[in-house]
């Protein structure tokens, strides 16, 4: 069987699906010259990204109903790493995450100033084509939220929106991403049953697969394991550890131990401000700020 996590198999699948690493495969899925290049072994199949994808948040201020939620937040989110945002409840972790794909300003009474650059593109520019940026950001919410359709359609939904109608191709995409999250063997016999009948852990993995199917560069996870049982959480964490080879993962978490287990970078927030940010080892072993130390040792939480 094709194992989705082995690099050579991933490349193989990408060739079949005419995907390039981080290239916009839906834009070129029907181009015939791709087929040509596919059969020329010496030629590079896809254009590598000149620069790695990243997010740069610069002096971001968010007020909701005149309460400042984020104050002058500046941070950079690295590619192909797991960045954990930690901090006590109400410190603005989730707000920061939501402001990264502009789901925040769909609510009323939200004022945002500052800038967020996604791969060099200003997210809060007035004329930005937001769907194109949101597609780059897979979102995994706290409670799994499958779409009200079958398992198959859940994955195919995003692809259909981006113009893939070919049944064969959709079948392959669905199978590929269900394998990628380890769901294929569990659900292959009931792909056309409602997604809401799956267990909650399976639903969360389905949501992950659904997000991955539109080929994002980032995965934004908002306490993605807090509603799950320990075994499902472990599965999701393991998936993150594998996925970070290809994606930048931003994970808001409430459990310090989870951050300890999987974080490469840690952002510690308190009262809407970033207190400290840096490599996980440094933050956990010798935090520079007293506040961070207090939080880590459990003086407050």
Give the binding site for other proteins (CB under 8 A): 101, 103, 106-108, 131-132, 134-135, 137-139, 141, 143, 145-150, 157-158, 161-162, 194-196, 207, 210-211, 214, 220
Cβ 136 to other proteins, closest distance in Å?
A: 8
| Complex with other proteins: residue 1 or 106, whichever CB lies closer | 106
Residue 117 CA to residue 124 CA, distance in Å, equals 8
For residue 56, give the nearest of 122, 105, 112 by alpha carbon: 122
| Complex with other proteins: residue 23 or 293, whichever CB lies closer | 23
Cβ 131 to other proteins, closest distance in Å?
A: 5
Cβ 73 to other proteins, closest distance in Å?
A: 21
| Complex with other proteins: residue 154 or 253, whichever CB lies closer | 154
Contacts of residue 6, defined as CB under 8 A and 6 or more positions apart, other chains included, come to none
Cβ 1 to other proteins, closest distance in Å?
A: 28
DSSP E strands: which ranges in 46-202?
A: 55-64, 67-77, 82-86, 110-118, 121-122, 137-140
| Complex with other proteins: residue 207 or 262, whichever CB lies closer | 207
| Complex with other proteins: residue 193 or 289, whichever CB lies closer | 193
Cβ 241 to other proteins, closest distance in Å?
A: 22
Widest CA span in the chain: 62
What is the dihedral sign for C-alpha 180, 184, 190, 194? negative
Q: What is the CA radius of gyration of the chain?
A: 20
């Amino acid at each position: 069987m094709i194992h989705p996590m082995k690099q050579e198999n991933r490349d193989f699948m990408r060739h079949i699906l005419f995907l390039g690493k981080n290239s916009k495969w839906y834009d070129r899925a029907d181009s015939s010259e791709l087929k040509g290049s596919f059969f020329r072994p010496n030629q590079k199949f896809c254009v590598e990204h000149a620069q790695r994808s990243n997010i740069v948040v610069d002096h971001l201020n968010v007020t909701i109903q005149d309460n400042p939620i984020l104050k002058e937040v500046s941070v950079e989110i690295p590619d192909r790493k797991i960045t954990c945002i930690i901090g006590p409840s109400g410190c603005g972790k989730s707000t920061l995450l939501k402001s990264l794909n502009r789901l925040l300003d769909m609510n009323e009474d939200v004022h945002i100033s500052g800038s967020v650059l996604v791969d060099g593109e200003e997210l809060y520019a007035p004329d930005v084509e937001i769907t194109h940026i949101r597609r780059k950001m897979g979102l995994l919410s706290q409670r799994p939220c499958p779409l009200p359709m079958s398992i198959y359609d859940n994955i195919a939904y995003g692809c259909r929106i981006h113009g893939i109608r070919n049944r064969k191709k959709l079948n392959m995409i669905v199978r590929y991403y269900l394998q990628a999250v380890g769901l294929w063997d569990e659900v292959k016999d009931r792909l056309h049953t409602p997604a809401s009948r799956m267990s909650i852990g399976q639903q969360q993995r389905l949501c992950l697969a659904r997000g991955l199917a539109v080929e994002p560069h980032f995965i934004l996870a908002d306490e993605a394991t807090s509603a799950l049982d320990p075994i499902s959480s472990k599965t999701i964490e393991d998936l993150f550890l594998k996925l970070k080879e290809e994606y930048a993962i931003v994970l808001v978490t409430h459990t310090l131990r989870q951050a300890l287990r999987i974080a490469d970078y840690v952002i510690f927030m308190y009262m809407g401000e970033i207190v400290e940010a840096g490599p996980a080892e440094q933050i956990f072993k010798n935090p520079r700020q007293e506040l961070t130390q207090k939080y880590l040792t459990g003086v407050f939480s």
